[in-house]
Amino acid sequence: MKLKDKVAIVTGGSRGIGKAIVYALAAEGAKVVFTYQSSEESSKKIEEELSSKGLTALSIKADASLMSEAEKTINFVLEKFGTLDILVNNAGITKDNLLIRMTEEDFDKVISANLKSVFNYTKAALKPMISKKYGKIINISSVVALNGNAGQSNYVAAKSGVIGFSKSIAKEVASRNISVNVIAPGFIATDMTDKLNEKQKEAIVNLIPMKKIAEPEVIATTVTFLSSSDSDYITGQVIAVDGGMTM
């Protein structure tokens, strides 16, 4: 187990990519605390399933866009396990629309959920990591942050901000043995893609050189790599897990 006795936080861990990350980190021996905002029932099922396998995962309800909630999560982890090694900022939402039709409220909500959340949890996590002189921070951005996407100016602005923020913080904390890296997923099979019809899915696949939509586990395995000692000399990087879309 590459992450035996490590302690990890995953924001937005109750479904989709976040859920896959929780399972992957726990399977490698990490003690995982994951946040959710509304999916309490599914979060408890994740806890129970992993516990039945002898693995550790605990859920906590928290709004990642609020600093007070981020601090609550960090304090919960420190009280429970006494340390923090890994932070995965995955929480996020979409409110897509063409800019001419986008409301100020929808712009602000997406920026808060996808970008300010990363600021909140990173800032709150840095104190124990700096004290320990060790930490792995992995921020989930998106392939659209590299290419842009019509109808997602709010989401792209947030996810692009995650990249710039991560590179800046990576430079601030590298001397403290803390790495900060970014994963930019391409099209991944999630609740969003499940809602697409076959014609829409075919159009997406045609944009991908590998000609397939990936499962969330491909992101989770990359997170596991960046969380482990295998990545100790990697920081400030953006890894596109996208089937070749950004080549």
Q: Which residues of the chain have pLDDT under 50?
A: none
pLDDT for position 201? 85
- Token pair belonging to 199: 């014609």
pLDDT for position 231? 98
- Token pair belonging to 234: 């990697």
pLDDT for position 93? 94
Q: Is 36 a residue of the active site? A: no
- Token pair belonging to 218: 């491909």
pLDDT for position 218? 97
- Domains, the chain, in order of start with CATH, read 7-241 (3.40.50.720)
* Placement of tokens 């990936």 in the chain: 214
Which contacts qualify for 229-233: CB closer than 8 Å, 24 or more apart? 229/2, 230/2, 231/136, 231/179, 231/181, 232/179
CA–CA separation, 136 vs 102, rounded Å?
Answer: 36
Catalytic residue, candidates 23, 36, 121, 155: 155
Q: What is the pTM of this model?
A: 0.96
Per the CB < 8 A criterion, the answer to whether 176 and 126 are in contact is no
The two beta strands, 86-89 and 57-61, are: unpaired
CA–CA separation, 47 vs 42, rounded Å?
Answer: 9
Question: Burial letters for 164-191: b for 16+ Cβ neighbours within 10 Å, e otherwise?
Answer: ebbbebbeebeeeebbbbbbbbbbbbbe
CA–CA separation, 215 vs 228, rounded Å?
Answer: 21
pLDDT digits (tens, 9 = 90+) for 22-55: 999 999 999 999 999 988 999 999 999 999 999 9
What is residue 23's DSSP assignment? Answer: H
φ/ψ of 182, rounded to 5, equals -125, 140
pLDDT for position 196? 77
pLDDT for position 39? 86
Share of the chain above pLDDT 90, in %: 92
CA–CA separation, 69 vs 71, rounded Å?
Answer: 5
